[in-house]
């Protein structure tokens, strides 16, 4: 049984903590790479929230075909707003990757990429 509609609509993981020092650079890993990884995590979290908003919006979609009603206008306005947020986040992700292009070739990140499953690697 679901405790809340939110928990039923989206998969909520258990809360976890970690040592924030994990994102401080050292002799082997630059601070720029650490910052890039944190930025990717933030983008992932924000995009997941946006996908969750789309899922929740589907639960309140008015019945029947779209019509010129207050309910449809409100629903479509919310859907458009969430879609614009999603587009903005993707734009920010691409800008972040462009700004951090030099850290992508760092040995530490390349080592992590080599250990990823083959199907998720780009090359």
What is the number of structural domains in the chain?
1
**Residue 69 belongs to domain spanning:** 37-110
> For the segment 8-49, what is each residue's pLDDT rounded down to a tens digit?
556 777 888 888 888 999 988 899 999 999 999 999 999 999
Q: Is residue 83 part of a domain?
A: yes
Q: Has residue 122 been placed in a domain?
A: no
* Tokens encoding 119: 């199907």
Q: What is the pLDDT of residues 44-64, one digit of tens each?
A: 999 999 998 998 898 889 999
Give domain status of residue 8, yes or no.
no
The rounded distance, in Å, linking the Cα atoms of 22 and 47 is 23
Find, among 96, 107, 92, the residue nearest to 30 by Cα: 107
Give the whole-angstrom CA distance, residue 33 versus residue 62: 46
Nearest to residue 43, comparing CAs of 86, 80, 82? 86
Nearest to 74 by CA among 83, 63, 85, 61: 61
pTM of the predicted structure, to 2 decimals? 0.76
Question: How far is the first Cα of the chain from the last one, in angstroms, to the nearest whole number?
Answer: 43
Residue 55 within a domain: yes
> Residue 81 — pLDDT band, cuts 50, 70, 90?
very high
């Amino acid at each position: 049984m679901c405790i809340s509609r939110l928990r039923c609509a989206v998969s909520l993981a258990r809360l976890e903590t970690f040592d924030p020092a994990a994102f401080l650079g050292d002799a082997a890993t630059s601070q720029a790479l650490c910052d890039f990884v944190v930025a990717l995590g933030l983008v992932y979290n924000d995009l997941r929230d946006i996908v969750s908003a789309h899922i929740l919006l589907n639960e309140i979609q008015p019945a029947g075909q779209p019509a010129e009603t207050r309910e449809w206008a409100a629903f479509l306005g919310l859907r458009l707003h969430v879609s614009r947020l999603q587009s903005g986040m993707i734009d920010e992700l691409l800008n972040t990757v462009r700004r951090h292009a030099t850290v992508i070739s760092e040995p530490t990140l390349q080592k992590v990429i080599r250990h990823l499953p083959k199907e998720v690697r780009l090359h």
